[in-house]
Chain A
Amino acid sequence: MELSLNLRKSFGGPFNLDLDCTASGSQVGIFGASGSGKSTLVRLIAGLERPEEGEIWLDGECLFSSKRGINVPPQRRCISLVFQDACLFPHLSVEANLRYGYKRSRAGRRSVDFATLVSVLQLGELLGRGVNRLSGGERQRVALGRAILANPRLLLMDEPLSALDDGLKLPIIHYLKRAGERFGIPYLFISHSLLEIRLMTDRVISMAGGRVLAQTSPEELARERMGGSQVGYINVLQLEKLRKMGGLYVYRWGLEELFVSAGDEEPMAVFELSSRDIILFTRHPEAVSARNLLKCTVVDTFPSGNKVGVELRCGHETLIAEVVVQAADDLAIQARNEVYAVIKAASFRRLS
């Protein structure tokens, strides 16, 4: 997918949108705080709103051009939209919702068929139900299915996870990613959550105040924003449950074992760990109350605001910790040093 945008739109107030960028790739993110113009951008790309001037090109086709007087209507852009809160048609059943876009797609473009989609998104048992009898996660899965069955050439996801409970986000991320990959449909994932962007995309355009700030990889963006962020850098750890010991759960993480308070009986689990919750020691601390002591090698350090990010290698796994500049100087932390990372068992937060 290659999407070129060169747009201007004002709204009568101080806010205006002025963009010039090209997004290419199949999993592109748009990151920005609320009010940065992300949702307006989505509506402009989908054709639901009209820019004052500029051009929109998708894969070599002009969708909008103020100079040439082109404005392809939304129904002919082949761009499906997944909204923040599903927006299923309340007067139709789940199945009729799913088939809405499919019936209207050009027969020649239909590469996703109904049965495959239902099995990939595990919608089978929902088909006969009314849409008002679905849970939040189920609704979003149906909305995603409906958008994909329209056989679009681009899927726009406008904060599709914001309305969901934390515990539901990860399974839905799994479905979103899997469906995009399985059916070969590129997507533009819009979110104000850096973590969601990192889990969903491999390129990201960051926006603020109606302008594009940068186009980078989600990883770079996360490192760059670590210093100024309230929560630091979020490490995402996929762990395998080994056993329960006392009040703690023991998980395998690469070659290491980790003690976690917030575990449960599931065999696999995903946890987040803030860079702020990792304390570094240059020598082995003899006695600490924290339950996890990992011997790591410093791979790299990077500045981020008034902090220094430290990329650690621990077996085959990577962990990002942060220290203030003075601490980095005092401890002389630099690449190839060996350090000990200390993490409390309570610092791990369950994602799934």
Chain B
Amino acid sequence: MPLLSSADCDAIILSLKVALTATLISLPLGFLYAYLMTFFRFRAKVLLEVLVNLPLTLPPVVMGYLLLVSLGRNGWLAPLLDLFGVRLIFNWKAAVLASAIVGFPLLVRSIRIAMEGIDGRLVQASRTLGAGPVDTLLSVILPLSVSGVVSGASLMFARSLGEFGATIIVAGNMPGSTQTIPLAIYDYASSPGGERAALSLCAVAVGISVFVLSGHEALVKRLARRT
């Protein structure tokens, strides 16, 4: 019997696909959000801050349930989704959404820390040298916060790989279509005789995490050497 069944392989591939998609979609949004929160003052700032950070403190199951009731067939966002012809529950896109929402505050936190470390006068200097706000964002703020972007993205990717509570509720646990590594392990752990398969998947999860974190360390070190 092979160490990993084909369903396990599907789960691994799906996990990577969900985590990667969630991270890639969140990156530009997270960057813009961090930029707004760092460099601008506006009224709804505190409210926005609380909303974005809520998934950090709420149990993921609560997040999943809230997503389910708002995106489900009779949810309040259903008409909007119907308009675009998309379905965001019980498919892999739902898993992406769950991961994105739960991982977003981690991504933003890292980027903001990096942006807050940028000397405001560098931004002013670029403006007086003829750069508009977008130009300054791309030519000064982005390169100077790139280490935060890298850290945030790796953190978010790793968090997405481990996302369980929100995913199981909003995406379900269907082998081959929405079953990610944690959900598969959960299945094995609750069925008799599944220990070996569960352990193999655990090993894969550890392997991927170690790979992501060491890749992150190496990248950050390289960036630090460059500046």
Q: Which residues of A contact B (CB under 8 A)?
A: 43, 46-48, 73-75, 77-81, 83, 87, 89-91, 100-101, 104-105, 132, 146-147, 150, 156
Contacts and interface: CB of A to CB of B under 8 A. Distances in A.
Contact of A87 (B119, B130, B131, B139): B119
A81 B131 contact: no
A263 to B, nearest CB: 39
* Interface residue tally on B, bucketed by range: 10 to 19
A87 B129 CA distance: 12
Nearest to A132: B227
Given A90-B144, A91-B227, A132-B227, A48 B119 contact: no
B130 A150 contact: yes
A105 B139 CA distance: 15
A75 B143 contact: no
A291 B139 CA distance: 60
A91 B125 CA distance: 14
Interface in B97-145: 119, 121-122, 124-132, 135, 139-140, 143-144
A90 B121 contact: no
Contacts of A73: 127, 132
Contact of B122 (A47, A78, A89, A147): A89
B131 A104 contact: yes
15 contacts: A48-B124, A74-B127, A75-B127, A75-B135, A87-B125, A89-B140, A90-B144, A91-B144, A100-B126, A101-B129, A104-B131, A104-B135, A132-B227, A150-B130, A156-B128
Given A87-B121, A104-B129, 14 more contacts: A43-B124, A46-B128, A47-B127, A74-B124, A75-B132, A79-B128, A81-B128, A87-B122, A89-B125, A91-B226, A100-B126, A100-B129, A100-B131, A146-B129
Q: Which of A46, A47, A79, A87 has the most CB of B within 10 A?
A: A87
Contact of A81 (B125, B135, B139, B226): B125
A91 B143 contact: yes
A43 B127 CA distance: 11
Nearest to B123: A48
A134 to B, nearest CB: 14
A77 B132 CA distance: 11
Contacts of A78: 130
Contacts of B122: 87, 89-90
Interface of B: 119, 121-122, 124-132, 135, 139-140, 143-144, 226-227
A100 B121 CA distance: 15
A147 B227 contact: no
A147 B144 contact: no
A101 B139 CA distance: 12
**Prevailing SS type, chain B contact patch:** helix
Contacts of A81: 124-125, 128
Nearest to B139: A100
A62 B135 CA distance: 24
Most buried by A among B125, B131, B227: B125
Of A74, A80, A83, A150, chain B has the most CB atoms within 10 Å of the CB of A74
Contact of A150 (B129, B139, B226): B129
B120 to A, nearest CB: 10
Contacts of A79: 128
Contacts of A90: 122, 144, 227
B150 to A, nearest CB: 14
A282 B122 CA distance: 58
Contacts of B124: 43, 46, 48, 74, 81, 87
B130 A75 contact: yes
Contact of A147 (B127, B129, B226): B129
B126 A48 contact: no
A77 B124 CA distance: 13
A146 B144 CA distance: 19
B128 A80 contact: yes
Contacts of A80: 128-129
B115 to A, nearest CB: 14
B227 A104 contact: no
Contacts of B128: 46-48, 74-75, 77, 79-81, 147, 150, 156
A109 to B, nearest CB: 10
A98 to B, nearest CB: 11
Report which residue of A47, A73, A78, A104 has the largest number of chain B beta carbons within 10 angstroms of its beta carbon.
Answer: A104
Closest 9 CB pairs of A and B: A104-B130, A101-B129, A74-B127, A81-B128, A91-B143, A87-B121, A150-B129, A87-B125, A75-B130
A147 B131 CA distance: 13
A78 B131 CA distance: 11
Given A73-B132, A75-B132, A89 B121 contact: no
A155 to B, nearest CB: 10
A156 B129 CA distance: 12
A7 to B, nearest CB: 18
